[in-house]
């Protein structure tokens, strides 16, 4: 049965890869930043080389999309081998095949939409000789071709607004690419060393876990940035400002300001002396401290939707989100706090004086 599963997966990947490749070539054809792209590609390769050395028990596969998609899909199909298993989600053995197909299609969707992602798999018979495979979809040019693109990618604000942001408040492309890589690697490390998302019948269980995991991922990525720079740079502070805009973007799961603040409270000299493993442990402790219960999370969502309405971004609230919180009462105090924090972050990013 698993041989049939593998053939089915590879077939799905290769057929979809052709479509993704066509999309990617067209999207990149107008690029005139070849030298910049080479620098970003080199940074990506060096970061992954670092992680391969740090975690030899994990094989890291980078998938950028574009004209490399077919080759990447072939490599993924071969590396998954005959008995692939997702390590990101707890599941019964009878659903192993279904989850693998869903996971493969998720990777393709991330490539098509050019969204960074991470997936961890295990294969008992991989050709590379390693059981654990961390698949990262990261396209450097898409997320960090320059400071404008890097800032826009994280903030999801209009390009016209980004261009008005003072240069020192924009995200530098190299710093941001490194941040994204560390952020996504954290998700693989979490699945590997902490464990998969547990099963539940609760409707918003996936979103709930995503919200918690994002706290740890941002804490880890920011810690790694401070370790590399040896100080709390303007980039670190700008990450906090931009994550503070998550409510404006109807993306409450990425409001990680509290996790970022926890990292910034730790002396930079202390973080600089930490190993990458110790920073991973630090991020998990921060995540644990900030963990809220499922019911509290649902009320947070309801309060976030109320805050969006107060901010005038009601149109961005998806129908799915509305349905999930339709019977939940928002916390007026929390909604007010979210509005105030969002406006404060926007004012700071604009370079305005904030009282």
DSSP symbol at 250: T
| Tens-digit pLDDT string for the chain (355 aa) | 434 444 444 444 444 443 333 333 333 434 445 566 789 999 999 999 999 999 999 999 999 887 777 777 777 888 887 788 999 999 999 999 999 999 988 998 888 888 999 999 998 554 555 589 999 999 999 999 999 999 999 998 888 889 999 999 999 999 999 999 999 999 999 999 999 999 999 999 999 999 999 999 999 999 999 999 999 999 999 999 999 999 998 899 999 999 999 999 999 999 999 999 999 999 999 999 999 999 999 999 999 999 999 999 877 778 888 888 888 999 999 999 999 999 999 999 987 654 4
- Helical packing angle, 173-193 and 34-54, nearest 10°: 30
φ, ψ for residue 77, nearest 5 deg: -60, -40
Contacts of 84 by beta carbon, 8 Å cutoff, 6+ apart: 5, 6, 9, 100, 121, 122, 123
Count Cα atoms within 13 angstroms, Cβ side, for 48. Answer: 20
pLDDT value for 310:
94
What Rg value do the Cα atoms of the chain yield, rounded? Answer: 20
Cα–Cα distance measured from residue 133 to residue 172, given in angstroms and rounded to the nearest whole number: 30
Q: What average pLDDT does the structure give for the chain?
A: 87
Residue 184 tokens, joined: 């996504």
Query: What SS3 class is residue 115?
Result: coil
Residue 302 tokens, joined: 């309801």
Sheet holding 84-86, edge to edge: 58-63, 132-137, 117-123, 84-86
pLDDT value for 124:
59
Instruction: Give the domain ranges of the chain.
Output: 1-145, 146-355
pLDDT value for 100:
92
Question: Look-up: residue for tokens 């998700």?
Answer: 187
pLDDT value for 317:
79
DSSP 75-104: HHHHHH-SSEEESSB---GGGHHHHHHHHH
Cα–Cα distance measured from residue 123 to residue 100, given in angstroms and rounded to the nearest whole number: 11
pLDDT value for 25:
33
Query: What SS3 class is residue 60?
Result: strand
φ, ψ for residue 31, nearest 5 deg: -70, 135
């Amino acid at each position: 049965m698993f041989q049939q599963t593998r053939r089915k997966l590879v077939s799905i990947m290769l057929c979809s890869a052709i479509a993704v490749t066509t999309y990617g070539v067209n999207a990149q054809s107008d690029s005139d930043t070849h030298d910049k792209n080479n620098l970003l590609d080199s940074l990506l390769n060096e970061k992954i080389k670092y992680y391969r050395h740090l975690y030899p028990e994990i094989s890291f596969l980078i998938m950028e999309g574009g004209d490399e998609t077919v080759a990447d899909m072939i490599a993924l199909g071969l590396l998954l081998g005959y008995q692939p298993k997702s390590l990101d989600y707890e599941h019964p053995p009878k659903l192993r095949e279904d989850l693998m197909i869903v996971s493969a299609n998720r990777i393709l969707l991330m490539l098509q939409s050019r969204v960074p992602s991470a997936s961890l798999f295990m294969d008992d018979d991989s050709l590379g000789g390693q059981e654990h495979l961390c698949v990262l979809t990261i396209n450097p040019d898409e997320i960090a071709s320059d400071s404008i693109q890097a800032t826009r990618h994280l903030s999801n604000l209009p390009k016209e607004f980004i261009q008005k942001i003072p240069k020192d408040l924009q995200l530098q492309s190299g710093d941001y690419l490194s941040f994204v890589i560390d952020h996504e690697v954290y998700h693989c490390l979490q699945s590997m060393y902490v464990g998969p998302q547990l099963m539940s019948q609760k409707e918003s269980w996936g979103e709930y876990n995503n919200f918690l995991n994002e706290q740890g991922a941002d804490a880890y990525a920011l810690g790694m940035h401070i370790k590399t720079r040896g100080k709390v740079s303007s980039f670190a502070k700008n990450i906090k400002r931009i994550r503070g805009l998550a409510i404006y973007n109807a993306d409450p799961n990425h409001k990680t300001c509290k996790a970022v603040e926890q990292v910034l409270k730790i002396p930079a000299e202390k973080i600089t002396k930490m190993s990458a493993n110790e920073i991973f442990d630090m991020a998990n402790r921060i995540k644990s401290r900030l963990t809220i219960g499922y019911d509290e999370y649902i009320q947070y969502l309801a309060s976030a939707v109320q805050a969006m309405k107060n901010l005038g971004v009601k149109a961005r609230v998806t129908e799915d989100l509305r349905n999930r919180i339709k019977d939940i009462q928002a916390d007026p105090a929390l909604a007010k706090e979210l509005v105030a924090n969002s406006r404060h972050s926007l004012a700071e990013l604009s370079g305005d004086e904030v009282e």
